[in-house]
Amino acid sequence: MEIKMEDDNITELHEASEKGCMVTLHRLIQKDPHILHKISLTPFNETPLHISALLGHVDFTRALLALKPQLAMDLDFHKRCPLHLASANGHVEIVHALLRANEDACLVCDQDGRTPLHYAAMRGKVEIVKALIFAKHDLTRVVFDGGETVLHLCVKYNQLETLKLLEETVKDDGEFLNSKDHDGGNTILHIAVMLKQIEIVKFLLSVSKVKEEANALNWMGFTALDVLERSPKDFKRFTLQNILMDAGVERANNQNNLPPPSANMIGHHESGKPTQLSKQRSLKHKSNWIQELRGALMVVATVIATMTYQPALSPPNGVWLTQACRNTTCDARTWVLDFHVNYQHLFLSFLVSNSITFTASLSVIFLLISGFPLKNIFFMVILTLAMCTTLISLGITYVLAFILMIPEKNDLQVHPEMCKGVNLLNEPEWMESSLRWETAVAISKWMKL
């Protein structure tokens, strides 16, 4: 019974930390003065201080720290201390309170190897960064798993103001400013160029220590300019290219004063593992472009196939709905224009052009779903020819269909019985020009060739 009561009190304490309720906290402390010392015996994944620091309850946090300062170093199931949570969410007063309780909390690394400073830098919490650096000046140089520094995080998350603040603390340390990560050996300049962050690139090239090493190679043997030239072409790329070249950044094959990348630099981590992930990232945009092209061609070919399938069933001017002639030459469900004397050749040309379009579009669909790589030159030539044939014949089909829908009144020569009871081929009185018919005859002759 007593154990159940203690569990209920701990649960109520966690609920109070979510609300920041000081009344409940004082009541629980009066009921059980040692309740805070029993937190570690409970199955909860985090302490009430973690919850309070996360949600920004300043008074509740200060009260907990006054009663038990050791809570500042307790870790949750992600190995994060309360300072990690307060720093990430920008709770300045809570950060100061936690640092007063124990400054060493800012050195705690979570399961990803990140300190509270890393989280503050990622979220652009400048005031938090200032407080943490003031507490531990060397905190900036902490490197977490993957070899990334806090400067790498600032660039990756596009936090320019935080980057400027941190650069002031290490501006004389060129080795740290140009340190490389373990995932490709990229410097902060490489990453800024990869992400096309123009303002950050300008700032980095204004730092003397960074500019001195602007031609540094990553493990693939690329300078920042090489990395840029392997990215998709857009306005930012041309802008960055001018900025880099004005700053003296060169391509790797133009640098006579730099040694070629060694096998270890290009192919392996410091631990000896191959850097396949870095190669995939550098070429990721290419594979994405190919997949987008394949999808776009599939959609276009499918739409064209659908468009050309319908005219075969419902051609211009339709089909005979009933038996129109006594000699059974005009059977129901047959094409009307096929019995028109002056339009038979033109109608045949329309059918041929429409069939070519339909067949070519189906060929494109078949080539795309067959799995042939778009990077293959022979395959691309065949695909290009098929698409060109589809588009050209589609245009011809449209012109022929347009002409068939507006016949000239002087060229209608049909048998009287053929149109008995049928009003599909009445002469339009508003047609006076013979230019359309001359165009139709020319196209029909061309199709016969």
Assess contact for 10 and 24: CB atoms under 8 A: no
The pLDDT of residue 231 is: 86
Per residue of the chain (449 residues), what is the pLDDT tens digit? 455 566 778 889 999 999 999 999 999 999 988 888 888 877 788 999 999 999 999 999 999 999 999 999 999 999 999 999 999 999 999 999 999 999 999 999 998 888 999 999 999 999 999 999 999 888 888 887 667 889 999 999 999 999 999 999 888 888 889 998 888 889 999 999 999 999 999 999 999 999 999 999 998 889 999 999 888 888 888 899 999 999 888 888 755 444 444 434 333 333 333 344 444 444 444 455 666 777 788 888 888 888 887 776 666 655 544 455 544 455 444 555 555 545 566 777 777 888 888 888 888 888 888 777 766 777 778 888 888 888 898 888 888 777 766 655 544 444 444 444 444 344 443 343 444 545 555 555 555 55
Burial of 326 (0-12, 13-18, 19+ CB in 10 A): exposed
DSSP one-letter code for 335: B
CA–CA distance, 95 with 240 (Å, rounded to integer): 38
Query: 268 has which bridge partners?
Result: 274
Phi, psi angles (nearest 5°) of residue 268: -140, 155
**315: its two tokens:** 């051609």
Question: What is the predicted pLDDT for the residue at 157?
Answer: 94
Whether 308 contacts 360, CB under 8 Å: no
> Domain residues of the chain, as ranges?
1-142, 147-278, 285-448
- Give this prediction's pTM: 0.56
Domains 1-142 and 147-278 share a fold: yes
> Regarding the domain delimited by 147-278, which CATH topology (the fold level of the hierarchy) does it fall under?
1.25.40
The CATH class for the domain spanning 1-142 reads mainly alpha
Per-residue model confidence (pLDDT) at position 270:
38
Q: What local confidence, expressed as pLDDT, does residue 172 receive? A: 84
Q: Which is nearest to 250 in space by CA: 223, 270, 275?
A: 223
